[in-house]
Structure 1
Amino acid sequence: EERENIIDRDFSTKSINQKWATDITYIHTLRDGWLYLSSILDLHTKKIISWDLSLNMTNELVLKTLNRAIIKYKPSNL
């Protein structure tokens, strides 16, 4: 299901928890092969607020990272 692009490339913010950005980074290791780092960046503070590492790149990895951020930071705009 495609979602509406509500940010529309406007990354400016006036407060913390106003806008978050997500990313998955591929990390190659000698022991485990590819690992996947899911992270969430608060666009106001420019800090990583949640992350998780997995052997598999799945929707569950991203949702776990997002759920951790929501529980920890309790954004009011949800």
Structure 2
Amino acid sequence: MAHIREQFSLSLGSYGRPRMTMELREVGLDVGERRVGRLMKINGIKPVRTRKHKVTTDSLHRLGIAANWLDGDFAADAPNRKWAGDITYI
């Protein structure tokens, strides 16, 4: 546990189970990821997420919504009767 606490403080609290295991192996300890994870969990050592979640979808846009011509009925009585998709870019 002393090695885990030391490496955790050196990483500024960002190392989780995989990186912590790699660091401990580089120091010369023969440990597995499950054991390191279990010891971290028992002792309340949790990594701090350093990156924020970036929202990429704008659900409140002011663009128009295309009409639903098929209304979920995709069965056609003959070939080439029903097409789905936007081809306005051509």
Query: Structure 2-normalised TM-score?
Result: 0.23
- For the pair shown, the structure with the greater C-alpha radius of gyration is 2
Which has a greater percent of helix?
A: 2
